[in-house]
Structure 1
Amino acid sequence: MIVQTIQFCVHTGCSVLPGAGAGRYRAAMTAPLLVTEVPGPRSRELHAQRTEAIADGFGTVLPVFVDSASGGEIVDVDGNRFIDLASGIAVTSVGASHPRVVARVSRQVARFTHTCFMVTEFESFVRVGQWLNAHVPGDFDKRTALFSTGAEAVENAVKIARSHTGRPRVLVLDEAYHGRSLLTMAMTAKEHPYKTAFGPFPGEVVRATNANALRSGLDAAAALAEVERVIDAHGAETFAALVVEPIQGEGGFNVPPAGFLRGLAELARRHGIVFVVDEIQTGLGRTGRLFASEHEGIAGDLTLTAKALGAGLPISAVTGRAEIMNAVHVGGLGGTYAGNPLACEAALAVFEILDDPATLRNVAAIERVVLDRLRPVADEIPAVADVRGRGAMLAIEFAEPSSLTPLPGLAAAVSQACHRGGVLTLTTGTHGNVIRLLPPLVAAPELVAAGVDVLVAAIRAATTEAAA
């Protein structure tokens, strides 16, 4: 059975950015192509097996099993071809199975897969550190430490800050997300599903007001005053680190008002607090700059990267001021898989792609085609409370027009309609009422536009149904 997608047909072409070493993954689509219902029979069969083998605690956004993925598309085991507006939650930012990544990792896997850098060293670990030291914002001498996951990077940043300052406390913001380990769950604001039934959590984590213009109604100055009040109430001399996302991810893609992040950096500096910028979701080109903090003209004392860093292989990093990074005693940092050589080679391929100016130009083109389609919807449909974001990190929030009561059911219905139409989208936000778009940075703008057109059609259909 052929399932028709929403007003699109398929042509041969390339669904990834020409240049930047992108190559041509295959004769690629310019729209979804569905040959079965979603999920298809083979995916349903495998999903039944999954329920017998895998713990229920793993959720699934779209229960289809992937056969292959490349550029901005995903092909499932039933032959359905989806437009990917999720990038594995901003991980496959240079596209799934990018030829440069495949080539570097393939060469490395034939040489050696692992030694543990704390046992015997290898060059790619050093090369990754050198690139990050040179490109992470901040005109000062830097050092880098590599780990495996974003949560590890956050936890090690806290360890480093505590070692440097001799202080215990960590300050985070409302609506923040920093990971799923016990410490990073304490730092994460959203209760469900991340924290439910997992406490008690580590202490010494303090939360302050965020400058969320839509929700808190606070401008930068008022929010900064609230943050300083919290610091004073607990004693500035007790805080080791202030950890912030330059654009909040799981919190709802909240873009800070102008001056807020700069003010936080100044607060931290004034009180001797290590300013930690969590660029795990926002970094490495996602917002149209190499790092989202560049939009604000700030530099963290420590900057965290992960997700896109390994193009799908697990690797993360803490990069920062040499005197802070080197405060930890020898042997105090590490991890069995930290900076695994396969992941380091993947990161070096990512850097090659980001070093090509065409990549960030393409991100700007993606931003234009998405906003050109979503902003008119915000004007047309009252339940669309906001369209926001930067580069290829964009979102649309749903709420009651008069009260701003979140509408998570509407967001879920829209996202599910996109899935049935062959477009992979994700929901996010403290209330689950935001659809976030994270297409690969190298995806052809025309392909992203086709995916967003499906999203727009789904919004119109879902809001019409809700109003009926």
Structure 2
Amino acid sequence: MNNAQLNELKQRYVASGAASPATQFADRAENAELWDADGKRFIDFAGGIGVLNIGHRHPKVVEAVKAQLDKVMHTCQTVMPYEGYVRVAERLSQLTPVRGHAKVMLANSGAEALENAVKVARAATGRNNVICFDGGYHGRTFMTMAMNGKVAPYATDFGSMPGNVFRAPYPVPYHGVSEDEALRGLKMALKTDANPRDTAAIVLEPVLGEGGFYAAPTSFLEKVREICDEHGMLMIADEVQSGFGRTGKLFAIEHSGVEPDIITMAKSMADGMPISAVVGTDKHMDASGGNSLGGTYTGSPVSCAAVLAVLDVFEEEDILGKSRALGDKLAKRFSQWQQDFACVDHPRNLGAMAAFELVTDKNAHTPDADLAGALCKRAREKGLILLSCGLYGNTIRFLMPVTIGDDVLEEGLAIIEECLTELSG
């Protein structure tokens, strides 16, 4: 079927809240390129929103998935466990920088990982409250919608959210929130809203994802760790978008040297197969009773096979080195764009987790969300898939596979330059 036929079916049968605004339908893909149902080629700078750090259909992952399909597709690991689950747990335990010996539970999505991280924290501390941050994004389930630091579009139409979730400022000096002000806000939340004796955890992204690709300073993360230790709260790092090599390390928190109690992960851990994980200090992970964590499809055999293949690829192909090199290339180009275009400002990156702002006034840092939307639209018309994000909707973020070829990368960046020239001229 072609795009027009598929769009007609989408309009008739797919719920509006779940329907993509895009009018093209993916038909096949490889590394950083995909082709739609009409055969048009696109360069992919979105990576399924950070899911494809090692590219579409990496051959080693495809091979592992196919091999697993010939063995076992599903048993439900609580009914009949299988090797893949425990091998994934073993490797994640060894690789994830949490305090002490780590244990692992697997789930299906980033939101499920965050839900279960909160469950673990409550069981481990006997407390209810959770503190999150402005601009944070943690998922679309009810608990994670309550945890998100942004209302629209995630929670706009769905009524009351669960309680015992409180908010603090995230340090974004570019938009007027200094590190000192963020710390003051966190401490004030503990005084006015979330009594430390009743607070189970502080949950934060080391680099905001949907919130705009702002990295928390090391000193801020250290202070959060100190506050958690002072009050017996757990520190939970949400690495769903920033994890698995996006920042040049396996997890973004590693840049700071801070060790959380729990880390959540998903997206690129299986190169497109649905799986997530909660990795935490053993005494916390073991705090709840038998069969209290899990689900029918959690840690499916096929997804586990993909995770193990992804981890092998990271070792064999120096994915972290490629991420750092890609980040350097993007930083250099962004710096040039900041000089060449009056609308481009505040370029930044941590490894290949890179972004810049579109503004109407660089001195006032005035966000230009309309231009960001127009840029993404024009880029897609020219064959480039590009995403915006941020609390103000004006951040252009880059999530192309770190395995992207230099020629394809250059082609995509040239499209952005062309679009910026047309739109800002």
Q: For the superposition of Structure 1 and Structure 2, which TM-score range results when normalised by the shorter chain? A: over 0.9
Native 8 Å contact 2:169 2:177 kept in 1: no
Which stretches in structure 1 are left out of the alignment for 5+ residues? 1-40
**Cα displacement string for residues 237-270 of structure 1 (whole angstroms, at most 9, x for unaligned residues):** 1110100001000111112234111211111111
Partner of 2:409: 448
Match for 2:225 among 244, 265, 269? 265
- Give 1:30-429 correspondences, 5 Å limit: 42-60=2-20, 62-138=22-98, 140-218=100-178, 220-233=179-192, 234-356=194-316, 358-401=318-361, 402-429=363-390
**Cα displacement string for residues 31-57 of structure 1 (whole angstroms, at most 9, x for unaligned residues):** xxxxxxxxxx92123112211111111
**Cα displacement string for residues 275-329 of structure 1 (whole angstroms, at most 9, x for unaligned residues):** 0000000011011111100111112100001011121111000001000000011
**Cα displacement string for residues 155-177 of structure 1 (whole angstroms, at most 9, x for unaligned residues):** 00000000000000000001010
- Is residue 2:421 matched to residue 1:460? yes
Q: Secondary structure at the match of 2:4?
A: helix
Amino acid in the other structure paired with 1:189:
G
Q: Secondary structure at the match of 1:190?
A: coil
1: CA distance, partners of 2:177 / 2:286: 41
Match for 1:430 among 381, 391, 407? 391
Q: Secondary structure at the match of 2:149?
A: coil
Q: Which runs of 4+ in 1 moved over 3 A?
A: none
266-275 vs 61-70, greater mean Cα deviation: 61-70
1: CA distance, partners of 2:297 / 2:74: 8
Native 8 Å contact 1:255 1:388 kept in 2: no
2: CA distance, partners of 1:369 / 1:254: 19
2: CA distance, partners of 1:451 / 1:359: 21
Native 8 Å contact 1:94 1:442 kept in 2: yes
Shift of the 364–445 alpha-carbon distance from structure 1 to 2, 3 Å rule, reads farther
Native 8 Å contact 2:212 2:390 kept in 1: yes
374-383 vs 325-334, greater mean Cα deviation: 374-383
1: CA distance, partners of 2:198 / 2:76: 35
CA drift at 1:139: 5.3
Partner of 1:4: none
CA drift at 1:437: 0.7
2: CA distance, partners of 1:128 / 1:61: 36
1: CA distance, partners of 2:19 / 2:346: 27
CA drift at 1:357: 5.4
Amino acid in the other structure paired with 1:221:
D
Q: Secondary structure at the match of 2:70?
A: helix
Q: Secondary structure at the match of 1:243?
A: strand
Native 8 Å contact 2:99 2:261 kept in 1: no
- Identity, in percent, stands at 36
TM-score, normalised via structure 2 length: 0.96
2: CA distance, partners of 1:62 / 1:56: 12
Which stretches in structure 2 are left out of the alignment for 5+ residues? none
TM-score, normalised via structure 1 length: 0.88
